[in-house]
Chains A and B, each alone.
Chain A
C-alpha cells in the first residue's frame, strides 16, 4: 500500500457522499467531487493505461487537461466518449471507464512484449520497413497494435439522438482562466460596468488558489475565490467551469467547449467579446531522466492538487526532483502530511529546506528504477534513493496557445526557461503566469496592466498578503547521448533518441521534427513535451531555443466532440426537403414520395417497388386517354414588377419577352453569361409592368438569386421589384383530351373556349371566394390547364377536381409518369437533357441568336469560336429497332474513326413509351441536328446497341393535341 486517501482533508470531495464506478472491470470506491484520476490514486491503482506505440505501463502524470497518460474510454451512465482524460472527468455512480490501448487491461496487457523490441522500432520504423510491396497491406495490423481509445461503433444506436447545444454569446470582456489573474481581471471589468464572461476548464474556479498557499486581502485565498465568484454571478456575469476556450478565430471569435456532468452532450459556445483577457496559466514540465515515464512519477504540482483538493497522499516515501523553486512548497506539504520526503534539486544554492525534508542539492536524477511502477531513483553521484513515488518539476510552460492562435508572437526568456507573449494582439490582453508573473503580487500587477483598456478605476484590485512564491530555475533540458530511454512525449511515445535520429536524418526544422517523430501530435498536442523536444533539437544542432522556434499552435486546445460542431444541423436540418401543401392529401391517396431537386413529390400513386413500373406506365397511358391530374405546385412563381420590368425580362431571357401581350405566356431560356442554358420555363405577363417567371422546380432559389443580382447591379432597386411567391401558391394541373370538360365542370366562372383562352394564355377565375389563375400551358403535349390558387385553399380545389374527375375517368399521376409524357414530346429538363456546355442553338432554338438586336445575358458568348464550332453536341431523339429494350441513360454514342473509340455524345433520357408501345430516348449527339436518319453505335458498360437519330418529338409532332 503506497498511495492512500488520508482520513481528513480534500477541499473538492464530499466524504458524506460515497460513489462507486468501474475501471477496467474493477469497482472503485470514491467520493462525490473526485475525478477518475483522484479516485484511482486513492485506490492505489498505479498503472492506468498503456502507451501508444510500445505498450509501456503508464500512470497518472497531472491533474488537469494537460494529462498525457491517463486516458480512459468512458461509458456506462455517462455519454460514451473515447480518450477522456481521467484527470478532468468527475466520477459518478454507474460510470464505466476502460484503459486505452490495452488488452485485456492496463495491468496485464498482452502486447507489452513490444516494448522489449523498442530499440528496433524507433521513429519512422514502420514507414521505412513496410514499404514493400505496399504499406497498405501492413497498415491495418499495425494500426490495431498502436493507438489510443476506441470509438463505440454503435454510438448512434444508443438511444435517441441528442443534439449538442450551440450558443452564441456577446460580451464586453471574456476572461479565459479563473485562477487568481482571471478572477481579479473579471472582477475589475465587472466593477467598471462591463459585461463579463469568465470561463475555466477545471471543475471549480480558483486555479492554483485551490491548492497553493496564498492569502488575499488578509484572508485565505479560498474565501476570496468564493466571494469573487459570488459577486460576479450576483451581477449576472456568467462564470462557466468545466469549460475550455479551445480556439480563437478571425476577429477574436472564441470557441468554448462546455462539459456537463449530467449526461448531456457538450455545449459549444461562440463568444464574440470586445476584449479578451487571457489568464491561461502555465503547465508543469517533466524532468529528463531515463525511464521518467514509470507509473508513480508525477508532476509535483499535481501531487499537491491530489493532496489538498482530494485528500490523497501519493506515497509514503517520496522523492521530489526539481530544478526550480515551485516544488519546495510541495515537498513541505507532503512531509507535513506524513510522507518521508527526499528533495533532489539540480541547483546547489537552493531555497531553505522545508521541515522534515532530507536534502540532496546540486544533484540530478539520472534514472528511475522499477518495472511496473517506480521503486526509486539513481542520482548522478551514483547513490540510489528508494521511493514508492517520485514527483518532478522541470519548470513551467506558460499556456500561450490561444495567444499564438490569435497570431501573437512569442519571446524567449532564458531566465525563466520559457516562451512568453512577445508582442500585443489587438483586442487581447494577457495576465498572470501567461504574462510571466510568479508571485501573487506580480499576478495582480499584470492584471492591472491587462485591465487598463477597459477599467479605469483600480477599485477592487486585490492585494496579496501571504508568503510570495518565487520562480528561480536552472534549465534542465534533455541532452544528446544520455543513457537509457529518456521520454519526452509520453502520449506519443517519443524519446530523446527519436529526436536525435530525426536530427541525424536532417529533420531539424521544428515542423519536420514534429511530423517525423510525432512529437506533440497526440490528443494532448504536446502540452508537457513540446518545449523539451525543441530544446533538445536546439542542443543537438547548436542553436538557441528561439532559433528552433515552436510549431504552429492551432485550435482546438483540447479535443472537442464533433457532435458539438455539428450541433442540431444534420440530416434533414442540414438540407431540408421542400414539401407540397397537399403532401398529406397525396399520402392519403397512396402516393409514393421521392425527392426531386430538393422537393418531396409523389413519384406515383399506389403500387410497390415491384410493380412501380407498371403503375407508372398505367398513369402515363391514362393521361393520354382521358384526363390527368397532377400537383405542379413546385414550379417557380417569381414575380417581376416595376416600370422597367419588361426591359428587365428582355435582358434576362434569351427570347424577346417585351413583345408579349398582357394575359399571354411565352416559353423561353435563361442563359448564363457564358452562353450556357441555365433554366427554361414559361414567362407570364399579367399586365404592362408585371410578369411571373415560372422557372424549373429545382431551380427556384438559384433563379431568384440571379434575378436579384441583375436587378440590383444593372437596373436599380427602384426600377424593378422581385418577389418569390413560389410557396404562396399551389398549382394543380389538369391535362389531357378531356381536361377542358373537367375544368368546365368546376365552374370557375371564366370563358374556356379557345378564342377566349387559347394555348399560352391565362384567364382569371374564382373558386369559392378565392381567385384562381388559369394558365393554358402544357408540359405533356396535351391540352392542359394549370390552376393556381392560394396554397392554403388548394385542398378543397384538389378534392373537387378528384370528385368531378370521376366522371371523366381522371387519373392522378406522379412525377415519373409526367417525365414519360414530356419525353414523348421531346420537352427538355434542364440539367438532365442539357449539360454545362449546352447552348440554345444546340437545342434547336436559334432564332433569337440570329435576330435579336438588344443585349441579353450570355449573348456575346453565343458567337465565340466554341459556340459556332461544327462539333457541338445537339439535341436529338433516338429510336431503337422494334421489340428492343430502352437504351440506358448515359450510354455513349461512339465513333471509331481510326482505331480509338471516341464519344460522340450520350443518352440523356430514356423511357418505354406506353402510348407508342416502344422505347423512346433523348440524347445530345455531335452534329445531331444534321444527322437525322443516321444509325449510330452506342456503348454502355461494355454493351453495344444501335439506334437511329430522329427528331426529339416522338409523339404528335404536329402538336394537334394541344388544342384537341
Chain B
C-alpha cells in the first residue's frame, strides 16, 4: 500500500484517496468546440509509462490536488494544491 502526500494532511495511505484525472486535461469551453477537440477532452488519455502528473482527491479532507508519480516504480514526487500549480 502506497503513501501519498496530501498537501493539506501530509502522508496518508492510498486507500484514503481517489484518482481524479490526468493533470493538464484543460476543458475547452463553449458550444463551438470542434468535435475532435471535445472528444479528446472527454476520452483521450495519455496513460504514460513512467513519470506522470495526476489529479487526486483526498477523500478524508475533500481536497483535490496535483501529484507527480511514476507508474513504473511507484515513486511519488511532489504534490501541489490546485492553484499552486501552473495548470
Contacts and interface: CB of A to CB of B under 8 A. Distances in A.
B17 interface: no
Interface in A853-897: 855, 859-861, 863-865
Interface string A266-296: 0000101000000000000000000000000
A712 interface: yes
A712 B1 contact: no
B64 A713 contact: yes
Given A712-B63, A712-B82, A861 B42 contact: yes
Given A713-B82, A859-B31, A253 B64 contact: no
A712 B82 CA distance: 7
Contacts of A865: 35
Contacts, number: 49
A251 B2 contact: yes
B80 interface: no
Interface residues of A, number: 23
A855 B30 contact: yes
Interface in A804-858: 855
A895 B64 CA distance: 48
Contacts of A859: 31
Interface string B48-68: 000000010100001110000
Contact of B62 (A673, A708, A861): A708
A705 B35 CA distance: 28
A860 B63 contact: no
A488 B76 CA distance: 43
A716 B28 CA distance: 18
Contacts of B41: 673
Contacts of B30: 855, 860
A709 interface: yes
B83 interface: yes
Contacts of A864: 35, 38
B3 A860 contact: no
Given A250-B2, A709-B20, A717 B62 contact: no
Contacts of B33: 860
B35 A855 contact: no
B74 interface: yes
Contacts of B35: 864-865
B38 A861 contact: yes
Given A250-B1, A270-B1, A861-B42, A709 B29 contact: no
A716 B38 contact: no
Given A860-B30, A860-B38, A708 B2 contact: no
Contact of B83 (A253, A705, A716, A855): A716
A713 B38 CA distance: 18
Interface string A18-43: 00000000000000000000000000
Contacts of A135: none
Contacts of A863: 31
Interface in B1-51: 1-3, 14, 20, 27-31, 33, 35, 38, 41-42
Contacts of A713: 55, 64, 82
Contacts of A558: none
A865 B55 CA distance: 30
A555 B27 CA distance: 43
A709 B64 contact: yes
4 smallest beta-carbon distances between A and B, as pairs:
A250-B2, A712-B64, A860-B38, A855-B29
21 contacts: A250-B2, A251-B1, A251-B3, A253-B1, A253-B3, A673-B41, A674-B42, A705-B57, A708-B62, A709-B57, A713-B64, A713-B82, A714-B27, A855-B30, A859-B31, A860-B28, A860-B31, A860-B33, A861-B42, A863-B31, A864-B38
